[in-house]
Amino acid sequence: MDSKNLLGILLLLSDFEPKTAKSGEPLPLSRSVRTTVLAEGRVPDSRFTQLLTYFWAHALRDVLYAHDTFKYLSWKPYCCQEKGKTDKECIPNIIPDDDPVHRFSSVRCMNLTRPESFQSVGCLKKDTVPERIVSSTPTFDLSQIYGISLKIANEKARLLEKGMLKYEVENSKLWPPSTKIPVNVCILNQKPYEKRCHDTSDEGSNSALGLNLFTIWTWRLHNRIATTLSELNPCWDDDRLFFTTRDIVIAITMQIYFYEMSPALMGFDNLVREGVISPYKEFRDVYDENIIPQVSLEFPFVQRWAHTIQEGKLKMYDANGNYLKEHRIVNMTFRTGYLVDNLEYITQGSFRQPAAKVDYIIDPDVAQTGFGPHQLAADLATSDLTKNRYFGFAPYIKYRKLCSGKTYSTFEDLLDVIDSQRIELLKEKYKNMEDIDLIAGIWVEKLVRGGSVPVTLYCVVVEQMLRTVVSDRHWYERPNRPNAFSLEQLLEIRKASVAQFMCAVGDTVTEIQPHAFFLPGKGNEMRSCKDIQKINLSPWKDFSCNGRNGKQNKNYEI
């Protein structure tokens, strides 16, 4: 799959080296920009839960899978060694001598490899706009669960019976199928006790904790819906059950993504005004066959800003909300085995623990450790900035112009979106305002009115979400797509919420706050799952099953 640059401007010089500063000198070191503009510390948010950061990662994973991390962790792990100096793929981050943390250590380099584009691997001519190689599909169709092709779905995911996905039971919990070979991607499993490692359509399901959790939960949701549908419609075969269930699971995920998570971050009124979401519950159809279903290169990239609200500590609770213990989240990457005994405590914590505050402060684990014991030192935000340069994105101010229509000629022109103190920080590192990197600008921006994300992030994300709704022929809100939902069915999908999702598939979740991306509290009190609105599958009843329909009075709620 390819993804195109939003502005369509080619900024990489020949041979895919990043541009230099306006003065002709190299740009300031990524690490020094990062340590200058983002402070380190731990400040909990007063509104958002961890669950929001988990779901956010899960939603993006659907359209972004690029092997970036795997490449320098496993395939080319030598970028900071002698060998790395001669491998063109290596682009390690240099740590300056006056680094606030590492001036006290001997670490002078952090591993990183080049992002791959069709141009950099030689499939397309070098003087064309870089198109990144992404191995997920460009539509929101849960590629991370169902695979990027039917072949993968059939081999890796489907049980090929009653519409279900393959599953295993351990500790009386339902899990995706696991790897049987001893060498596996779960490099942090503490052997010999921790063994479990998913063998699904996407090996990345074992990586970051949030992705892992939503893989397990979505897996369970699928089987729960498939089972209910097969009781409702006993005459349906495996294919029919599978594809109907898949369609429902994707729609539920998109309903939560567009109508619950995005409004929480970007503001409900904002998104209605932009046309990203509809204020009505009925169908909406804005399909335009002339718009190609594509994901801009900037869309997943700017959302790496979320690293700044990623909490480093994972707090675990029991089902009554009693705090039990904590663990470092960075130690959980590629460690599915840990979940076998702890999933219910992590689940309970996901909607009780705050995310890190939306501010200009980044958690020290995210900024120093990054991948736990995989690496001596890794600064995810510094890597983000370096990748920014290798993707060849236009200067930050070009995106400002795209978003606001204004032209920016002096640093002070940025006062509408960046406060003066932070403009000073930028000036310390960038001699010319055209040198400001896209993500560096976003790090210091003010938040969009009525929302909690930086203004340029908002602008890029809205552009993509609009394009997605218009270009996806199979968009769940359309009445005219192949196998479209009936209105009754759509109205059930509209009832989806992440709270209901957690009640359905989260271990030991019997009570939760109705708006589970927000912390429980006044107006969002925890309540029994019985009192959380459910989705009823009765509208999927197929009357042609000839009286062999499921039992009367049975509850088809999930």
Ligand X SMILES: *[C@@H]1O[C@H](CO)[C@@H](O)[C@H](O)[C@H]1NC(C)=O
Is residue 401 involved in binding ligand X (CB under 6 A)? no
- Report the C-alpha gap between 126 and 518 in whole angstroms: 46
Complex with ligand X: residue 113 or 201, whichever CB lies closer: 113
Is residue 327 involved in binding ligand X (CB under 6 A)? yes
Within 80-203, where are the H helices? 143-146, 150-152
Complex with ligand X: residue 44 or 77, whichever CB lies closer: 77
Q: How far does Cα 252 stand from its chain's mean position? A: 16
The annotation status of 307 as a binding-site residue, yes or no, is: yes
Q: What is the DSSP letter of 17?
A: P
Is residue 110 involved in binding ligand X (CB under 6 A)? yes
Which residue is it, tokens 């994972």?
314
Is residue 333 involved in binding ligand X (CB under 6 A)? no
Complex with ligand X: residue 230 or 353, whichever CB lies closer: 353
Is residue 376 involved in binding ligand X (CB under 6 A)? yes
169 beta partners: 174
Complex with ligand X: residue 12 or 377, whichever CB lies closer: 377
- Report the C-alpha gap between 433 and 56 in whole angstroms: 31
Cβ proximity of 222 and 164 under 8 Å: yes
Min dist. Cβ of residue 309 to ligand X (A): 21
Is residue 96 involved in binding ligand X (CB under 6 A)? no
- Report the C-alpha gap between 322 and 349 in whole angstroms: 10
Is residue 80 involved in binding ligand X (CB under 6 A)? yes
Is residue 42 involved in binding ligand X (CB under 6 A)? no
Q: What character string, x for contact with ligand X (CB under 6 A) and - otherwise, covers 218-257?
A: ----------------------------------------
Q: 3-state class of 346 per DSSP?
A: helix
Min dist. Cβ of residue 470 to ligand X (A): 43
Q: 3-state class of 418 per DSSP?
A: coil
- Of the listed pieces 23-31, 145-153, 375-383, 546-554, which binds ligand X according to CB under 6 A? 375-383
E strand intervals along 267-352: 313-317, 323-328
Complex with ligand X: residue 138 or 312, whichever CB lies closer: 312
- Report the C-alpha gap between 30 and 467 in whole angstroms: 32
Which residue is it, tokens 């659907």?
62
Cβ proximity of 399 and 9 under 8 Å: no
CA angle 27/29/31 to nearest 5° reads: 145
Which residue is it, tokens 């199979």?
474
Identify residues 111-140 at the interface with ligand X (CB under 6 A): 111
- Of the listed pieces 107-115, 341-349, 397-405, 513-521, which binds ligand X according to CB under 6 A? 107-115
Neighbours of 404 (CB within 10 A): 14
Query: Backbone phi, then psi, for 113, in 5-degree steps?
Result: -120, 160
- Of the listed pieces 16-24, 215-223, 233-241, 373-381, which binds ligand X according to CB under 6 A? 373-381
Is residue 77 involved in binding ligand X (CB under 6 A)? yes
Q: What is the DSSP string of 386-451?
A: HHHHHTTPPPHHHHHHHHH-----SGGGGGGTS-HHHHHHHHHH-SSGGG--HHHHHHHPPBPTTS
Binder of ligand X out of 377, 425, 455, 558 (CB under 6 A): 377
Q: What character string, x for contact with ligand X (CB under 6 A) and - otherwise, covers 54-73?
A: -------------------x
Number of residues that bind ligand X (CB under 6 A): 16
Is residue 91 involved in binding ligand X (CB under 6 A)? no
Residues forming contacts to ligand X in the complex (CB under 6 A) are 73, 77, 80, 107, 109-111, 327-328, 331, 372-373, 375-378
- Provide the annotated binding site for heme b: 307
